[in-house]
Amino acid sequence: MKTLRISDDAHQKLTALLGELTAQTMKMQTYTDAIESLLSQSVILPPELLNQIESFIEENKHLGYTTREEFIRDAVRWRLRFLKEEYEYIEIPKGEYEKLQQAIKELETPFLSVNDFIEHQIKTLLDKYEEWTSQKEDYKRKK
């Protein structure tokens, strides 16, 4: 058996992971099991991308991310929702979005925000479409 020298910090993290693995599998685990689990669940990202993520988190603390792992999990979830085609996303240039937000406020519209305005427009048009479809079907039945 070979000996591997690790830091106290790494030892604590491995021990914690061992506890999690033991709880998940309901059987005793070894450091080898913990390391294999880490390797099988790991994703290697380029250092430049990790630096960008860390900088973003640091510059945008108001978004609530405290670790890059949290950020990456959230990004992956968002991307999966997009790829599953459960939602459509519309991109609006930030300048136009901000100008629209200002117009909504200054024109004293009944909308709280740009999102509220867009949701209202969608709902209104879908309601009109439903009414139009119903009238169209009634007209066909009468023929």
Number of Cβ within 10 Å of residue 64's Cβ equals 10
pTM listed for this prediction: 0.54
The residue segments making up the domain with residue 63 are 44-89
In a shared domain, residues 48 and 78? yes
Handedness of CA 100, 105, 107, 110 (dihedral sign): positive
64-101 per-position pLDDT tens digit: 999 999 999 999 999 998 899 888 888 999 999 999 99
- Does 2 map to a domain? no
Structural domains in the chain (count): 3
Contact in structure between 69 and 81 (CB atoms under 8 Å):
no
C-alpha–C-alpha distance, residues 37 and 33, integer Å: 6
C-alpha–C-alpha distance, residues 55 and 48, integer Å: 10
The pLDDT value recorded for residue 35 is 76
6-28 per-position pLDDT tens digit: 888 888 887 887 888 788 888 88
In a shared domain, residues 96 and 135? yes
In a shared domain, residues 49 and 78? yes
93-128 per-position pLDDT tens digit: 999 999 999 999 999 999 999 999 999 999 999 999
In a shared domain, residues 94 and 111? yes
